[in-house]
Chains A and B, each alone.
Chain A
Amino acid sequence: MTAKKVLYFVSLSSNVPYVLKEALEKAKNKNEVKVFFDLDGARALDQRYLNQLNRTHGTDLEFLLKTALDSGIKLYGCQMNVLIADGLVLVNGVEVAGVATFLETAYQADDVLSY
């Protein structure tokens, strides 16, 4: 199967474990995968909220995020994250990006999926 550029947009933290697991599968099959986290979804990238979310969702998000990054998946937190007024305390390896970056990436992608 031809490798694709796959882009995920995640705005709900409850969807993050599923998206990361699916993203890892895509990356394993040599697809280029990027994940944008916005609104509630971006909390999963913040070191201050990881433990809380792990308890809520029963998942080791830190492990999933690290595995994703180690697999070459690009993770982006929304630059204008409204939920964290004092800024994101990002997990190592995660970048910040705005809607312009999201759109440019989305235009180039073969699949754009929102969760």
Chain B
Amino acid sequence: MRPKKVVVLALHDELESAYPPLNVATGAASSEAEVILAFSRKGVNILKKNYTPVPSEGMEYLPKALKGFNAASIHDLLDIAVETGVKLYVVDLDIDNDADFIYPTEQVPIKWVLNEAASADLFLHF
């Protein structure tokens, strides 16, 4: 059977917004899906080596709750994503040329991401 194809687009870098795309991407990859995880707008910051996730206003309880649950960090999840075969991309119009990313990433136009999404079994953006 053909593996499922999943495209996930991460648009935001706040703590509460960084977890869903990574969780879905790693979950899909763990079930043998072919997964494209693209980062655009503020989402590209998640890939930066110096990224520090900060919760939005009203979500200040979140870091403590995550710690209490012994949840994986965002960068841990990114490691798992890569280990499970998730392919990382950044939308090139959103890139700061001096960005220091934690993993080498391919730069692609948003049109490429949307074309991949059109042929995917599942497309999600967060």
A residues near B, CB below 8 A? 9, 11-12, 14, 38-40, 56, 82-85, 98-100, 102-103, 106-107, 112, 114
Chain A residues in 8 Å Cβ range of B24: 99, 102-103
Contact yes or no, B4 A107, CB < 8 A: yes
Of B43-51, B58-66, B85-93, B101-109, which binds chain A?
B58-66
Contact yes or no, B68 A38, CB < 8 A: no
Chain B residues in 8 Å Cβ range of A106: 122, 124
Chain B residues in 8 Å Cβ range of A103: 4, 6, 24, 27-28, 31, 33, 122
Q: How far is the CA of A114 from the CA of B10 in the complex (A)?
A: 11
* 10 A-B pairs with least C-beta separation: A99-B27, A82-B69, A82-B71, A83-B65, A106-B122, A11-B20, A85-B68, A107-B121, A82-B66, A114-B126
Residue from B6, B19, B33, B123 within 8 A of A39 (CB atoms): B19
Contact yes or no, A107 B122, CB < 8 A: yes
Q: Write out, one digit per residue, whether chain B residues 92-126 have a CB within 8 A of any chain A CB (1) or not (0).
A: 00000000000000000000000000000111111
B residues near A, CB below 8 A? 4, 6, 16-17, 19-20, 23-24, 27-28, 31, 33, 58-59, 61-62, 65-66, 68-69, 71, 121-126
Q: Tell me if B's interface is mostly helix, strand, loop or mixed.
A: mixed
Contact yes or no, B125 A11, CB < 8 A: no
Contact yes or no, A82 B65, CB < 8 A: yes
Chain B residues in 8 Å Cβ range of A85: 65, 68-69
A-B pairs with beta carbons under 8 Å apart, 15 shown: A11-B19, A38-B20, A39-B16, A39-B62, A83-B61, A85-B68, A100-B31, A102-B27, A103-B27, A103-B33, A103-B122, A106-B122, A106-B124, A112-B123, A114-B126
Contact yes or no, B124 A9, CB < 8 A: yes
Q: How far is the CB of B11 from chain A (nearest CB, A)?
A: 10
Q: How far is the CA of A56 from the CA of B27 in the complex (A)?
A: 32
Chain B residues in 8 Å Cβ range of A107: 4, 121-122
Residue from B4, B123, B126 within 8 A of A11 (CB atoms): B126
Q: How far is the CA of A88 from the CA of B66 in the complex (A)?
A: 15
Q: How far is the CA of A38 from the CA of B62 in the complex (A)?
A: 13
Contact yes or no, B27 A114, CB < 8 A: no
